[in-house]
């Protein structure tokens, strides 16, 4: 490919709306062009990278025995109503009507559709297990699209779905995908870590997210160096030491006028936030419940939902808080709420807490010297792990400190159970001809997001540093004297020799200064740069350099040996 025919547009300036390096670089290197908020055109270079990631995904899905299909993007509302997700997906799902006023979803995912499809084909245990996958555009109505392909309205995703005869059998399908994911990301040159994630209603350890570590990542992940434990912050657990608080005096109510937050009250009273019990009123499936956590901690709503065995938990509104406690949200506490039957649950760290400060259930008042056992109705069984872990918390598995890092989620494997197959009555006949419900798993890879994650993980101040496996072109030949036929001839010969060796190569044949060509080659990040110029050839060679090495590592190679030298270098990146 010749640069002058390639529609490459590079930019010197960062786009104004880009907050993270990978987004800036994708636009500046001419991989993609913004059409509107959250919508991008993949330009020829970006398309090549996207296609290469797709190829890696496809090869590993096929190797794992998954079968490729493609399902419609437009999915009838009836399917989504059957699962109950027409409502629960909320405004994040794009919906359209056809001319007959029939509703459709623009697929954000495809559990419903695939279940409908498979149930129409599979009738016997002999056809199971089966895993199907598609690489298809997905849609999400992001409130605030940002970070380029990380939070876009339209994105390319690989979604796979496994169907098995039983929960136990589904483990094998899950592990096959888990292993395939490890290989996909490794082959894309990514360091992606499997991280335990919340399993929703299924339970067990059958949900993992694959994360690429990056400071720009939106997700927090707790890691333990001691035992290798890794979990996202929704899921991550901690161990707490038993407390040995000294007995405290009688409770004392103190006025705290105008102080609403723990920060404000702690400043007002001159004591640290950790001395407080932070109390919040939630509504769990319609019933109010008070949640108490250490004053310097945040409630983990996912853990809370599981502990309460609730479908939905949300912060209570003004009236509910007032009716339950007798006060506004800033002054509530576990001591004598207005509703004496109000259930109060507390984080495990508060078990045996004495001498703490709580809201008084009276506006603008707090109570000191609270002994939770003595002064509240919290039951022994209502202490549980209910907070978000943070740096330095103790690993629940081994007792070493946890470290919190940032990650970009590029994949998710999930054992679904029978949520959808129950709703769609997707059954098979077992060997006794009894009808049984199929057990599902679902597995996603953000294909377009993976392209950007590669860049986020692999770039420097000059631009992208592509791994050879997904680079738009593996080699850029910088032709310094395009008007001199003998020099251009060397470049042409090298180009065809490399192509014959299966290497993707682009020749920068523009009439630009060498500095411009080198800058663009570094910005786009071709793994290998070859400089072909009259001066070099007079000295007997072409210059070969790896993108990830500095100039001092440049090799001068006779043109006849260049293909061998380049393919050897590419094998290492
Ligand atoms: Zn550990």
Q: Residue 476: its pLDDT value, please?
A: 98
Residue located via tokens 């001068």? 556
In this prediction, what percent of the chain has a pLDDT beyond 70? 99
CA gap 246, 316 in Å, rounded:
34
The predicted structure's pLDDT at residue 198 = 85
Are the beta carbons of 212 and 453 closer than 8 angstroms? yes
Interval between CA 225 and ligand 1 midpoint (Å): 6
Bridge partners, residue 154, by sequence: 139
Centre of ligand 1 from the C-alpha of residue 235, in Å: 14
Question: Using 50, 70 and 90 to split pLDDT, how confident is the model at 272?
Answer: confident
Tens digit of pLDDT for each residue in 466-512? 999 999 999 999 999 999 999 999 999 999 999 999 999 999 999 99
Distance between Cα 231 and ligand 1 center (Å):
11
Q: Give the confidence band of 203 by pLDDT, cuts at 50, 70, 90.
A: low
**pLDDT confidence bin for 204, thresholds 50/70/90:** low
Q: Name which CATH class applies to 13-73+108-235+405-455.
A: alpha beta
Residue 264 CA to ligand 1 center (angstroms) comes to: 36
Helix, strand, coil content of the chain in percent (nearest 5) = 30, 30, 40
Residue 349 has pLDDT above 90, yes or no: yes
User: So where are the chain's domains?
Assistant: 13-73+108-235+405-455, 252-384, 473-571
| Cα(243) to centroid(ligand 1), Å | 21
Distance 396 CA to ligand 1 centre (A): 7
Strands (E), 98-191: 103-106, 130-139, 154-164
The rounded Å distance from CA 309 to ligand 1 centre is 27
* Of residues 39, 134, 146, 144, the one with CA closest to residue 92: 144
Q: Please state, rounded to an integer, the average pLDDT across all residues of the chain.
A: 95
> Average pLDDT for residues 1-13, to the nearest whole number?
96
At residue 265, the pLDDT reads 86
- Give residue 479's pLDDT: 97
Q: Using 50, 70 and 90 to split pLDDT, how confident is the model at 573?
A: confident
Judge if 13-73+108-235+405-455 and 473-571 fold alike in CATH terms.
Answer: no
pLDDT value at position 216? 87
- The CA 397 to ligand 1 mean position distance, Å, reads 5
Q: What is the dihedral of CA 101, 107, 110, 114, to 10 degrees?
A: 50
| d(C-alpha 172, C-alpha 168), whole Å | 8
- Class of domain 473-571 as given by CATH: alpha beta
DSSP string computed for 184-219: HHHHTT--EEEEE---TTS-TT-EEEEEEE-TT-SE
Tokens of residue 397, six digits: 């598995």
- How many Cα atoms within 13 Å fall on the side-chain side of residue 93? 22
Distance 300 CA to ligand 1 centre (A): 20
Confidence of residue 268 (pLDDT cuts 50, 70, 90): confident
Domain 252-384 in CATH 3.30.2270.10? The answer is no
Residue 307 has pLDDT above 80, yes or no: yes
The model's pTM is 0.88
Å from CA of 324 to ligand 1 middle: 40
Q: Is 243 helix (H, G, I), strand (E, B) or coil?
A: coil
What DSSP string runs through 490-536? Answer: HHHHHHHHHHHTT--EEEE--S--HHHHHHHHHHHT-SEEEEE-HHH
- pLDDT of 259 reads 84
- Tokens 């009738």 found at: 123
The confidence score (pLDDT) of residue 201 equals: 61
- pLDDT computed for residue 553 by the predictor: 87
pLDDT for 168 beyond 80: yes
- pLDDT, one tens digit per residue, over 112-133 is 999 999 999 999 999 999 999 9
**pLDDT average, residue stretch 410-423:** 95
Measured in angstroms, how far is the CA atom of residue 382 from the centroid of ligand 1?
26
Give 191 Cα–ligand 1 centroid separation in angstroms: 21
28-87 confidence digits (pLDDT tens): 999 999 999 999 999 999 999 999 999 999 999 999 999 999 999 999 999 999 999 999
Ligand 1 centre to CA of 402 (Å) is 7
Q: What is the mean pLDDT of residues 547-561?
A: 92
The helix (run of H) or strand (run of E) holding residue 337 is none
Cα–ligand 1 centroid distance for 345 (angstroms): 27
Q: Please tell me the distance between residue 569's alpha carbon and the centre of ligand 1 in angstroms.
A: 39
Q: How far is the CA of 233 from the centre of ligand 1 (A)?
A: 15
Distance 239 CA to ligand 1 centre (A): 10
Q: Where are the alpha helices (DSSP H) in 129-276?
A: 167-187, 262-269
Q: How far is Cα 45 from Cα 31, in angstroms, rounded to an integer?
A: 5
On the 0-12 / 13-18 / 19+ scale of CB atoms within 10 A, 136 is middle
Q: Specify the DSSP class assigned to residue 124.
A: B
What mean pLDDT do residues 225-232 have? Answer: 94
Distance (angstroms) between ligand 1 centre and the Cα of 393 equals: 11
Q: How far is the CA of 503 from the centre of ligand 1 (A)?
A: 44
- Residue 205: pLDDT above 80? no
Ligand 1: centre distance to CA 495 (Å): 52
Q: Is the pLDDT of residue 551 over 90?
A: no
Distance 230 CA to ligand 1 centre (A): 9
Report, as an integer, the average pLDDT of 22-31: 98
Q: How far is the CA of 388 from the centre of ligand 1 (A)?
A: 17
**CA-CA-CA-CA dihedral for 112, 117, 118, 119, to nearest 10:** 80
- Ligand 1 centroid vs 404 CA: distance in angstroms? 13
Q: What is the mean pLDDT of residues 390-403?
A: 95
pLDDT above 90: percentage of residues in the chain: 92
């Amino acid at each position: 490919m010749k640069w002058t025919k390639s529609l490459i547009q590079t930019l010197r300036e960062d786009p104004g709306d880009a907050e993270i390096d990978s987004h800036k670089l994708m636009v500046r290197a001419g991989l993609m062009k913004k059409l509107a908020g959250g919508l991008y055109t993949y330009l020829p270079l970006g398309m090549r990278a996207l296609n290469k990631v797709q190829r890696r995904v496809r090869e590993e899905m096929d190797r794992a025995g998954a079968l490729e299909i493609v399902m419609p993007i437009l999915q009838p509302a009836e399917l989504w109503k059957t699962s109950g997700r027409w409502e629960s997906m909320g405004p994040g799902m794009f919906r359209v009507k056809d001319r007959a006023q029939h509703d459709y979803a623009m697929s954000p995912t495809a559990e419903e559709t695939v279940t409908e499809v498979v149930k129409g084909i599979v009738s016997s245990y002999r056809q199971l297990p089966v895993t199907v996958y598609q690489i298809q555009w997905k849609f999400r109505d992001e409130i605030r699209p940002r970070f380029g392909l990380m939070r876009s309205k339209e994105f390319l995703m690989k979604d796979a779905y496994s169907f098995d005869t039983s929960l136990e059998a589904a483990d094998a399908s899950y592990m096959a995908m888990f292993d395939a994911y490890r290989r996909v990301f490794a082959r894309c040159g990514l360091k992606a870590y499997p991280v335990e994630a919340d399993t929703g209603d299924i339970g067990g350890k059958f949900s993992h997210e694959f994360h690429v570590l990056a400071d720009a990542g939106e997700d927090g992940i707790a890691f333990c160096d001691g035992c290798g434990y890794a979990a996202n912050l929704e899921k991550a657990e901690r161990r707490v030491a038993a407390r040995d608080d000294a007995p405290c005096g009688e409770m004392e109510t103190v006025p705290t006028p105008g102080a609403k937050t723990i920060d404000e009250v702690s400043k007002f009273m001159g004591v640290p936030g950790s001395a407080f019990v932070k109390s919040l009123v939630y509504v769990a499936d319609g019933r109010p419940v008070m949640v108490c956590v250490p004053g310097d901690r945040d409630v983990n709503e996912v853990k809370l939902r599981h502990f309460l065995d609730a479908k939905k938990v949300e912060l209570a509104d003004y009236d509910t808080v007032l009716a339950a406690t007798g006060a506004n949200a800033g002054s509530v506490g576990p001591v004598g709420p207005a509703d004496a039957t109000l259930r109060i649950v507390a984080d495990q760290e508060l078990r045996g807490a004495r001498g703490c400060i709580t809201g008084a259930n009276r506006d603008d008042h707090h109570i000191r010297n609270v002994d939770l056992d003595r002064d509240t109705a919290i039951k022994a069984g209502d202490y549980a792990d209910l907070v978000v872990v943070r740096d330095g918390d103790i690993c629940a598995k081994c007792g070493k400190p946890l470290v919190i890092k940032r990650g970009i989620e590029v994949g998710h494997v999930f054992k679904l159970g029978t949520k959808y197959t129950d709703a769609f009555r997707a059954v098979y006949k077992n060997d006794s001809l009894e009808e049984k419900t199929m057990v599902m798993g679902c597995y996603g890879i953000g294909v377009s997001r993976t392209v950007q994650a590669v860049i986020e993980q692999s770039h420097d101040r000059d631009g992208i540093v592509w791994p050879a496996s997904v680079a738009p072109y593996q080699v850029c030949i910088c032709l310094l004297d395009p008007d001199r036929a003998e020099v251009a001839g060397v470049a042409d010969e090298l180009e065809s020799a490399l192509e014959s060796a299966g290497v993707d190569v682009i020749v920068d044949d523009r009439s630009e200064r060498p500095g411009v060509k080198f800058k663009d080659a570094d910005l786009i990040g071709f793994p290998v740069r070859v400089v072909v110029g009259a001066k070099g050839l007079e000295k007997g060679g072409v210059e070969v350099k790896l993108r990830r090495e500095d100039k001092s590592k440049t090799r001068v190679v006779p043109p006849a040996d260049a293909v061998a030298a380049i393919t050897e270098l590419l094998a290492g990146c």
